[in-house]
Structure formats: C-alpha cells, structure tokens
Chain A
Amino acid sequence: ETGVTQSPTHLIKTRGQQVTLRCSSQSGHNTVSWYQQALGQGPQFIFQYYREEENGRGNFPPRFSGLQFPNYSSELNVNALELDDSALYLCASSSRLADTQYFGPGTRLTVL
C-alpha cells in the first residue's frame, strides 16, 4: 500500500452535474498530481499541485479544477459533467517535484 487514499471509490452522476473527488497524500508528500484514465488507455495528466499552488496543467478544459489544502490533501472538481468524463480518476503523491509518484486506488466515475 502506498498510503495514498481516495474517496469515494465509485460514483455515478448524470450529465451536467458537478462532482468533487478527494485525495489524501502519503505522509511527508507535498505534491499531488491528478490523472484521468479512460478504459484501455494510459493515465492522462490533468494537473499538479505543489504546496497549495497549481504547478502545471494538461490538456483539460477549465471545468476541471482543483485545490490543495495546507495538509497537502487535494480535491478535483469537475463541472458540467459530460459522458466522456467517465473514467478512473487517479491521484498520485510525491515528496517533491519530479520525484517518484505513488498512486492511490482511484475513483471510478460513471456519467450517465
């Protein structure tokens, strides 16, 4: 086990709704990255947070937003859900930028 936890495990939403996913990083880690993994594909980088600031963003629209808290836990928010947002959402923590990333178990989001 990596010590990275995510909640909820599974989630079902309908188009147009909003969702918040949560991630608790491994103790001592100050960097959290979020990834979207569609079925049969590799994880796609959404964004990264380092010491509560966004440190980089992938090719995702602004309706994907995030936060990192002083305890380094993090949230991923997705507004105006679309069917294509159905995926496994993974967070990964690391002790510093560009270091090895440890993944949590993921949240499986289904948009109907």
Chain B
Amino acid sequence: GQQVMQIPQYQHVQEGEDFTTYCNSSTTLSNIQWYKQRPGGHPVFLIQLVKSGEVKKQKRLTFQFGEAKKNSSLHITATQTTDVGTYFCAGSSGNDYKLSFGAGTTVTVRA
C-alpha cells in the first residue's frame, strides 16, 4: 500500500533560522496536503498542492510539490516560537480518497 515518509522526525531550530521538512511517497499522488498539530491539539489544515511542480507560499511558509508528484517539502523562513508543533504531510492517490499521513516532523524553537 501507499506509504508516506517524512524527514527529519525532529527539528530543533534557533529562532530566526530557516528549516525544511521533506515528504516522500512510495506512489504517485493526486494531491498532497500539509497539516500542523500543536501539542495537545488536533491537525489543522495548512494547504493542498495538486499540480506537478506547484509552489505555494503562506507568509513565511513555502510549500512545494515535486515534478513526479511523489515528494513535497515545507520550508519555513525566520522561524518563530509560534511555529512550534508537528507538521504532517498527507497524500491521496487516484480514486482512493483516504489520506495517508507521514509520521510528522516535530519542531522545537530555541529563543
């Protein structure tokens, strides 16, 4: 079955620095979604990417979908303490509407 992998599992960042988290799928995806989960909270939708090579920005967050639609990345610039949490990518493929989540990247920020 479809597997979605994320690296790194943990990201410890100095406030103000940039970082990137990566997502790779074992199969071609029809779309990929990114979610953020704060400690003790539930996943909150950030963005969906559908097109090959698509790039979308949300303020300091840049999301990219690979040309082969099998990988994605999330880049955060000038990290702030509000960026703390776990970032999940989730993909679906073909007519299978279920979302397969990665294990997430847990981000901590040093002030």
A residues sitting closer than 8 Å to B (CB atoms) are: 2, 33, 35, 41-45, 48, 55-56, 58-59, 88, 90, 97-98, 100-106
Contacts and interface: CB of A to CB of B under 8 A. Distances in A.
Contacts of A59: 1
Contact of A33 (B33, B96, B99): B99
A102 to B, nearest CB: 6
A88 B86 CA distance: 15
Interface of B: 1, 6, 30-31, 33, 35, 41-45, 48, 88, 90, 92, 96-104
Contacts of A90: 42-43
A41 B98 contact: no
A55 B90 CA distance: 18
Contacts, number: 55
17 contacts: A2-B44, A41-B104, A42-B88, A42-B102, A43-B43, A45-B99, A48-B97, A55-B97, A88-B42, A97-B97, A98-B31, A98-B92, A100-B45, A101-B33, A103-B43, A103-B45, A106-B42
Contacts of B45: 100-103
Contact of B97 (A42, A44, A88, A98): A98
Contacts of A45: 98-101
A11 B30 CA distance: 36
Contacts of A55: 97
B44 A58 contact: no
A57 to B, nearest CB: 8
Nearest to B103: A42
Contacts of B43: 43, 90, 103
B101 A43 contact: yes
Nearest to B94: A98
A52 B97 CA distance: 16
B97 A105 contact: no
